[in-house]
């Protein structure tokens, strides 16, 4: 397994195809913005390789000492063999010394895909991420933040969006109250 920063056009096509299939439309940013931010150096776009085969993607937003793992996906046919966990650990190692964190759809929301959300959260928690007790409404979706050995406040999180995508994006984030221990069953 290897992580490779994207350079070839063919890799961009593979990433775009997986990006469109792995993430619901309401969670996807316009792909040209990701490409543009990558070109400007405030986003990293990685392919996950298994042998010589494309196996997944990772896209980060980078702002000062903070790195938000914005998108992370393994091709459906490559899932279930530990590749995702290995790729996540490589990303954690690569960004060592930075505040590395991610957002996931909240498991505390009433949602049709609640079991999928719980599996996703369990995957991240079993691969070194921890709850940061920060929640946000992100473009209309309740999201939880998970971090790797770091703390990130809502204000820090919002600043990443502002620094990378501008105030227009940051205006679409609102802090939510994290459930108390007695409400927390996820």
Residue range 130-158, pLDDT digits in tens: 999 999 999 988 999 999 999 999 999 99
Question: Whole-model pTM?
Answer: 0.91
Cα 164 to its chain centre, rounded Å, is 14
What's the 3-state SS for the chain? Answer: CEEEECCCHHHHHHHHHHHHHHCCHHHCCCHHHHHHHHHCCCEEEEEEEECCEEEEEEEEEEECCEEEEEEEEECHHHCCCCHHHHHHHHHHHHCCCCEEEEEEECCCCCCCCHHHHHHHHHHHHHCCCEEEEEEEEECCEEEEEEEECCCCCHHHHHHHHHHHHCHHHHCCEEEECCCCCCCCCC
Q: Share the mean pLDDT of the chain.
A: 90
Instruction: State residue 150's pLDDT score.
Output: 96
Domain ranges of the chain: 2-176
* Average confidence (pLDDT) over 76-81: 89
Instruction: State residue 175's pLDDT score.
Output: 96
Q: Which CATH class is domain 2-176?
A: alpha beta
Instruction: State residue 7's pLDDT score.
Output: 65
- Give yes or no for residue 119 having a pLDDT over 60: yes
Instruction: State residue 157's pLDDT score.
Output: 96
Asked if 45 contacts 15 with a C-beta cutoff of 8 angstroms, the reply is yes
Instruction: State residue 186's pLDDT score.
Output: 47
Q: Which of the two residues, 123 and 169, has the higher pLDDT score?
A: 123
């Amino acid at each position: 397994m290897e992580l490779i920063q994207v350079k070839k056009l063919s890799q961009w096509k593979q990433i775009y195809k997986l990006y469109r299939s792995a993430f619901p439309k309401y969670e996807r940013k316009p792909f040209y913005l990701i490409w543009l931010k990558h070109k400007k150096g405030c986003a990293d776009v990685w392919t996950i390789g298994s042998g010589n085969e494309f196996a997944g993607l990772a896209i980060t937003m980078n702002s000062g000492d903070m790195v938000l793992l914005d998108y992370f996906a393994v091709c459906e046919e490559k899932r279930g063999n530990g590749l995702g966990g290995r790729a996540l650990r490589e990303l954690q190692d690569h960004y060592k010394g930075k505040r590395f964190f991610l957002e996931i759809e909240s498991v505390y929301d009433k949602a049709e895909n609640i079991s999928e959300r719980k599996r996703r959260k369990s995957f991240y928690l079993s691969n070194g991420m921890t709850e940061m007790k920060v929640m946000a409404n992100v473009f209309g979706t309740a999201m939880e933040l998970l971090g790797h050995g770091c703390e990130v406040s809502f204000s820090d999180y919002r600043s990443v969006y502002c620094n990378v995508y501008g105030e227009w994006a940051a205006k679409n984030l609102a802090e939510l109250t994290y459930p108390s221990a007695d409400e927390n069953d996820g």
